[in-house]
Amino acid sequence: MFGEMKVFSGSSHPDLAGGIATHMGMPLGRLKVTRFSNENIKVKIEENVREADVFVIQSSCPPVSDNLLELLILIDALKFASAARITAVLPYFPYARSDKKDEARISITARLVADLLETAGADRVLTMTLHAPQILGFFRKPADQLLATPILTNYFRSKDLSNATVVATDAGAAKFAGHFAKRLSVPMAIIDKRRFDDSEKAQSVALIGDVKDRDAIIYDDEIATGGSIKEAARIIREFGARSVRVGVTHPVLSGNALETLRAAELDELVVTDSIPVSAAFTKAMPNLKVLSTAALFGDAILRIHGGRSISEMMD
């Protein structure tokens, strides 16, 4: 068994980190982050962590590279302060979409991030809903993936699902969407989506399944610019859906996402707080619902510290 449990937070998402600590009934660890005029970052741990079981919470949100480097420096500081074990808690994993070599002479950056975390001193990783499950294979240390499916399932179960169909935005999302549809006990459809370049624009060309006169629930792992969701909503309506709601884990919401999603005229957009959503975005999208992941991560941290199963949480 490890020593005392301590939870620290980087600068990326203090609200979520505070919620996790509150759920666990403990304070966040004390540290000081200094950013110098030359853009260098200094992290000082301001309490004793010798032989402690330490969890460090840092999500991937703008500025992504700064937050990643801050996390690496924080882990390194904890390692040299003699923490017994360090777990990097990454609600949204950085560079998760760069998970394969699908072009010549490119970096598989998700694998590089895994290597950097290990080099910095992380003994294990806890994350949620990876863009591709094979990213777990990039780690040589233990890595656990939580799914936001139970959180989203509980929310949509509170609605009328008698005429609902879960829709996957493409074949790659079909496995997660199928798991979601099974939990809700509703049928599933899949959009045939093609991406032809790096412009983050995809074109939906067909629909496998039936949504005519049904309440469609688009299910995906993340929203970036919102283009895929807008295109999916368009084709679903063309095939006769009477309403379109969206359930997504990670609200990346980059580029012109606000304008794109407002143009999509969704009946409801449901996301988690794995990434902070700005107050301005929330105000401009009255049909937006943000669900907390604090209890999910808090329970997972307690299970890891106590040597109990994480997979039981997902069953």
Distance CA 249, CA 179 (A): 14
In tens, the pLDDT along 165-189 reads 999 988 878 888 999 999 999 999 9
Domains of the chain (ranges; CATH) run 5-147+294-314 (3.40.50.2020), 149-291 (3.40.50.2020)
Distance CA 11, CA 17 (A): 10
Phi-psi label, residue 113: left if phi above 0, alpha if psi -120 to 50, beta otherwise: alpha
Average pLDDT over every residue of 110-120: 97
In tens, the pLDDT along 205-245 reads 678 999 999 999 999 999 999 998 998 999 999 999 999 99
Does the global pTM surpass 0.85? yes
Distance CA 82, CA 164 (A): 53
- The H or E element containing residue 257 is helix 257-264
Asked if residue 170 lies in contact with residue 191, where contact means CB atoms within 8 angstroms, the answer is yes
For 283, counting Cβ atoms within 10 Å of its Cβ (0-12 exposed, 13-18 middle, 19+ buried), the class is: exposed
Q: Is 230 considered catalytic here?
A: no
User: Of the residues 44, 141, 193, 283, which is catalytic?
Assistant: 193
| pLDDT higher than threshold 70 for residue 200 | no
Tokens found for residue 247: 């359930």
